[in-house]
Amino acid sequence: MLLRRLARPLLAAPFVYDGVSTALRPAEHTDAARQGADTVTDALGVDKLDDTQVSLLVRAHGTATALAGVLLAVGRAPRTAALALAALSAPLAVVNQPFTSKGDERKDKTAKFVRNLGAVGAAVIAGIDLEGRPGVSYRISQKRTAAQRSGKHAIESAEKSGKHAVESATKSGKHAVDTARRSAEHAGRSATASVKHARRSATASAKHAAASAKRSAEHATRAAKHDVKATAKSARASAEKAAATVS
């Protein structure tokens, strides 16, 4: 981070200097600018620019270059400023191309052309600097990988959930069968015990009734014997009394 704070002003310094110089003294760049402007107007089929318009164009270009250089130097929107400098420097490289010149002019244009190309390259590098943050392609790759992992995880989770559901259903079915079997066995044992208990109760009741009847018969027999004896005794006494009276 500190290195970038130092490198950006160093990179921006030539752009700011050239931009300010061009804005203050456009006459020094009017000839080169006119060549480029004539090329563009001829290609578009429009009227050529006069000296005032060319001078204004040079001033505007210099002002824009200086402003973008200042923004890059102070770190305000550095990537945008650097890409703007690259776009502003590219026309200068086209204007200063040495391939159609000869002699000393060719050498002079060659030096300017190489310098302009270097400025464009440096500005482009500064414009694509992400300051350590991942780039777009890396982020897309990471998202794609994350999506694939999420999809794979979802499939595995679904498979595990399905297996777990099947196992749970199987266990539930077995448990239900075991519970029903135990319930049936318990019901059978309960019914058998109830029958045995009813049988024992009936047998006990019959025995008790028989014993009660026997005791009742014995009691009735004793009562009848006692009544007979009492009657006989009373009759005997009555006979003896009658006999005594006759005598």
Could you tell me the pLDDT band of residue 134, with boundaries at 50, 70 and 90?
A: low
Instruction: State pTM to two decimals.
Output: 0.49
- CA distance readout (Å), 28 to 12, 23, 180, 243: 22, 10, 106, 194
User: Encoding tokens for residue 232?
Assistant: 């006989």
Q: pLDDT digit string (tens) for 207-241?
A: 888 888 888 888 888 888 888 888 888 888 888 88
Whether the predicted pLDDT of 87 surpasses 80: yes
User: Encoding tokens for residue 151?
Assistant: 């999809």
88, 72 contact by CB (below 8 A) = no
Mean pLDDT of the chain: 83
pLDDT, average across residues 174-201: 85
Share of the chain above pLDDT 70, in %: 96
Could you tell me the pLDDT band of residue 136, with boundaries at 50, 70 and 90?
A: low
